[in-house]
Amino acid sequence: MHIPDGYLSPATCALFYAGMAPVWFVSARKAERALKLKQLPLLSFGAAFAFVIMMFNIPVPGGTSGHMAATTLMAIILGPWAAVIALTLALSLQAFFFGDGGITTLAANCFNMAALMSFGGYYTYRLISAGAKPLQGAEPPRGDAGRLRRVIASAIGAYVAVNIAAFAAAMELGIQPLVAADALGRPLYAPYPLSIALPAMMIPHLLIFGPVEAFGTALAVSFIHRTDSAMLHAAGGAGGSLKPLWILLAIMIILTPLGLVATGTPWGEWGKGELAGLVGYVPAGMHRLGEMWTGVMPSYGIKGLNAVFGERLGSVAGYVIAATAGSAGVILAVYLWGRIWRK
């Protein structure tokens, strides 16, 4: 996932350096506050650990092996802010001494693999493990629901983190033909559009690298929980508020109406009429099955809403109601799941 030098345009690289500068600053401050004077050796050892653990191959089911980035594990142990700094240090050394990633693309790689992975993995872990039995002593009883839940949470967190980072990297690479081309329209940096970059990055990460990272993280968290669970919150990794996550979710929900600005049909979501226009015919199976289930709110609309508010305002209201209902449904499901698990 390390983006090498020469794949991103200078403008993209500059944007990421500008974007990461405050993240590094805040991370250093937060880590300093959380870890006090311990921070320097701890962050350095954390970075060295992340560096070395990437050398280890995990024996995965099926007889093959792969290596993990251990970012989510680091975020769980050190806390996400400290993990951002530790991973930045590790990525800097990799870029300089190993040529893994590049100097101009360092900030973009740090954004993907240090920031997104740390926060994505950590908050997914926290969200799923919230309410798990508290860590007590060195050896929690076997079969402890808290342990199982934490292990599953860490695996899902690692899987989500890897795929968020891969998605970001694919987006960064995929927009290059749009933002940097010569006078004849030929690409100057990563040459493939999003339609190629996204599946090329996401398919291996969804099917191979994500499961390997999840598996490795789950193995490590399970072992640590069984042998020395105090380590799981040794350096500020556990505890803390989930408030930032809820704020982020609220912002995303508020920003949902931005979808109304988009024009045209998303790739692959064509209706039968559009498909017929594009390829000249509608496959028989699609024709037959397409009418079977049109959803509770087909095309994000509610019957009768257009008649009351008019077509434009009705479609906007329908879109916002659909987004609100969807978000509420997901939060309700997570809440119920948490309640059931707690029992």
Partner 1 sequence: MAQITGIPPWFKEARDKPCSTRDARGKGDGTEPFLAKTLSNIASAAARLLDSEECAGRPGLLQGLNPASRIAGICSVIMGAAITKNPAMLGGIILLTAVLAFASRVPPAVLVKRVMPAFAFTAVIIAPVFFMANAGFKAGVFIIARVTAMTALTALLALTTRQTDLFRGLRRLPVPQFFVTALFMTFRYIFILLKMAEDAAFAKKSRLISRAGLRQSQSQNQRWFASRVALFLKKSLDMAEDVMGAMASRGFTGQVKTFDGEGLRQRDYIWLFAAFFVFFLSVGF
Distance (Å, whole) CA 113 – CA 168: 10
Instruction: Give the residue with the Cβ less far from partner 1, 146 or 318.
Output: 146
Instruction: Give the residue with the Cβ less far from partner 1, 4 or 338.
Output: 4
Do the beta carbons of residue 214 and residue 182 sit within 8 Å?
no
Question: At its nearest, how many Å lie between partner 1 and the CB of residue 41?
Answer: 4
Question: At its nearest, how many Å lie between partner 1 and the CB of residue 22?
Answer: 13
Question: At its nearest, how many Å lie between partner 1 and the CB of residue 34?
Answer: 14
Instruction: Give the residue with the Cβ less far from partner 1, 49 or 309.
Output: 49
Instruction: Give the residue with the Cβ less far from partner 1, 48 or 325.
Output: 48
Instruction: Give the residue with the Cβ less far from partner 1, 47 or 127.
Output: 47
Question: At its nearest, how many Å lie between partner 1 and the CB of residue 342?
Answer: 27
Distance (Å, whole) CA 85 – CA 4: 20
Distance (Å, whole) CA 43 – CA 35: 9
Handedness of CA 32, 56, 70, 339 (dihedral sign): negative
Which pairs from 129-138 meet CB under 8 Å and 24+ separation? 129/153, 129/154, 130/242, 130/338, 131/338, 131/341, 131/342, 135/225, 135/229, 135/230, 135/232, 135/233, 135/238, 136/229, 137/229, 137/230, 138/227, 138/228, 138/229, 138/230
Question: At its nearest, how many Å lie between partner 1 and the CB of residue 242?
Answer: 24
Question: At its nearest, how many Å lie between partner 1 and the CB of residue 283?
Answer: 28
Instruction: Give the residue with the Cβ less far from partner 1, 177 or 318.
Output: 177
